[in-house]
Amino acid sequence: MLFNSTTFLFLFLPLVVLAYHCLLRLGRAGAAKAWLVIASLYFYAYWKLEYLPLLLLSIVVNYYLGIALAKTREGRGHAGALLGLGLFFNLGVLAYFKYAGFLLELFNALGGSDFSMAALVLPLAISFFTFQQIAYLVDCYKGFAHEYGFVNYCVFVTFFPQLIAGPIVHHKQMMPQFAAVAAGGNSVAGSALAAQGLFIFALGLFKKVCVADSFAPLADAGFSQAVLSRSDAWLTSLSYTFQLYYDFSGYSDMAIGAALLFGIRLPVNFLSPYRASSIREFWRMWHITLSTWLRDYVFIPLGGSQSGTRKTLRNLLLTFLVGGIWHGAGWTFIVWGGMHGLAMVVQRLWSTFARPMPRWLGWLLTFNFINITWVFFRAPDLATAQRIIGAMFSPADSGLSGVLLYQAMQQADNPLYSIVVGGLNLSLLWLAPLVLLATVFARNSMEQSGYDAGAIALPNWKIVIAACAFALAVLFLLAGSPSVFLYFNF
């Protein structure tokens, strides 16, 4: 089920929230959490029922491994062996479904063999719930996890606002909140908290439906062209740069907003990353929960920055290669992760041996680096990425300039897109800079709502703006059909 579908907006979400709070008012906190688990499993299975058994198996196995690790901490058993078993299970399942085909192709290429296997359907959200539960097992091993109730654990893993595409939540962030429900700490979300949640959700829906989905036809048209002019190649890369940001940050906003309706605070996942003036700053603002996971469970275990400059640079590069592979099985993701790892290495060396550059120059270099590397992230193969980047920097402006906008309008399935983009002749040659200015200088949804500062009160005029944004997004939805979020592919 999609956040940006009328079924979710006008049926599923209101029904689940209403029943949840009714159960809390009746003093049935346990039933309220059980209802959340049932609703979340239905939400997951609505997409494809075949995905559900794997999620349930993963929950049961990791829950009982956590219990076993807890007993081991009390002096019984071998903690290292149990943790190794948990890592083997989780990474093995992830590798089989997500990387088996790629690894088999690589084996055939290296060995000259011709083995084949049936195509596997990637289970929805497998990367997210796998990483989340790996972190849980590691923290059980270290003695940091103390909440082992099965229903609480199920809610922790399946809570539908963050289940499909994050944020990647930590048990220390979530379990105490769900446990507080039983004590009445979150019995009913107040009107101010609900208003803040609806405000953030509405802005996220607007980002996805009205902004990201408007750039999508341009990006899709550009990546499908055999020949692009230089200007259209830049249109292609910028279109995807904005599509990806507004798609994923929109999802994260909707997840945070929906969670607030249950009295649950999810971690912030985006803080205007396109404002960053360095690659290090970018990763402190982009997909923050993944960056934190990679730092805590990959970079630091490798030795972090405590083993000298050479090993620190190695650890940075390996961490970002893991981040690239996490996103997908393909050379494009490996190259993308490697480029970001090398950029982190270069920045660390620069900060050690050279003067700091002006912030405006750092921003210009960082944004263009991000824009170029997103081409590898989006391209179906390295040849496509090379073709687009080659066109971007071609000294001769080959191809048919301006064809991209026409192709996008032909591919778009939303009549409003053709009216707005085609009717007003909004060529992205000047629309993209306009969106960039808004992205860099306008206050983001976390700042507008006060969520990042822990505030919840909103003035009436902001509520009116959110209502208008929601109404416009619904109008776009009714004119077309809901599109899948990009991070559903990971």
Q: The tokens 């500062």 sit on which residue?
A: 453
Q: Is the CB of residue 47 less than 8 Å from the CB of residue 485?
A: no
Active site residue 327: yes
CA separation (Å) from 76 to 70, 80, 394? 9, 12, 65
Give pLDDT tens digits for 438-471. 888 888 888 888 887 776 677 788 888 889 999 9
User: How sure is the predictor about 421, in pLDDT bands with cuts at 50, 70 and 90?
Assistant: low
Whether the Cβ atoms of residue 164 and residue 128 lie closer than 8 Å to each other: yes
Contacts of 487 (CB under 8 A, 6+ apart): 165, 166, 247, 248, 251
Provide the phi-psi class of 125: left if phi over 0, else alpha when psi is between -120 and 50, else beta.
Answer: left
Q: How confident is the model at residue 263 (pLDDT cuts 50, 70, 90)?
A: confident
Q: Rg of the chain over CA atoms, in angstroms?
A: 23
Q: Percentage of residues in the chain with pLDDT exceeding 70?
A: 87
Q: How far apart are CA 22 and CA 470, in angstroms?
A: 26
Local confidence band at 16 (pLDDT 50, 70, 90 cut-offs): very high
Give Cα 17 to chain centroid, integer Å.
24
Distance CA 328, CA 21 (A): 39
With a pLDDT cut of 90, the percent of the chain lying above it is: 44
More confident residue, 405 or 339: 339
Q: What is the pLDDT of residue 475?
A: 87
What is the structure's pLDDT at 418?
54
Higher-pLDDT residue of 377 and 439 is 377
> Residue 342 pLDDT more than 60?
yes
pLDDT value for 269: 92
- Which tokens belong to 275? 């404002």
Helix, strand, coil percent values for the chain (each to nearest 5): 75, 0, 25
Question: What does the pLDDT read at residue 36?
Answer: 95
Q: Looking at residue 448, what is its pLDDT?
A: 85
d(CA 47, CA 126): 14
Please give the Cα distance from 487 to 321 (Å, whole number): 18
CA dihedral 365, 366, 368, 371 (to 10 degrees): 170
The per-residue pLDDT for 48 is: 82
Query: How confident is the model at residue 123, as a pLDDT?
Result: 82
Q: What pLDDT is attached to residue 61? A: 95
Catalytic position from the list 171, 287, 327, 340: 327
In the predicted structure, residue 292 carries a pLDDT above the cut 70: yes
Provide the CB-side half-sphere exposure for 299 (13 A, CA).
20
- Cα–Cα distance list, 81 to 72, 85, 86, 87 (Å): 10, 6, 9, 10
CA distance 258 to 36: 13
**CA–CA distances in Å: residue 57 to residues 53, 189, 449:** 6, 32, 38
Provide the Cα torsion 142, 143, 146, 149; round to 10°.
Answer: 60
Residue 109 has a pLDDT of: 72
- Top mean-pLDDT range of 360-374, 389-403, 431-445: 360-374
For the segment 293-300, the average pLDDT, to the nearest whole number, is 92
Structural tokens at position 383: 């040849």
Over 70: is that where the pLDDT of 419 sits? no
Average pLDDT over residues 115-132: 79
Torsion of CA 203, 440, 489, 97, to 10 degrees: -120
Q: Mean of the pLDDT values across residues 428-442?
A: 75
Count of CB atoms situated within 10 Å of the CB of 213: 25
Cα 178 → chain centroid:
23
pLDDT digits (tens, 9 = 90+) for 211-244: 898 888 888 888 988 888 888 888 889 989 999 9
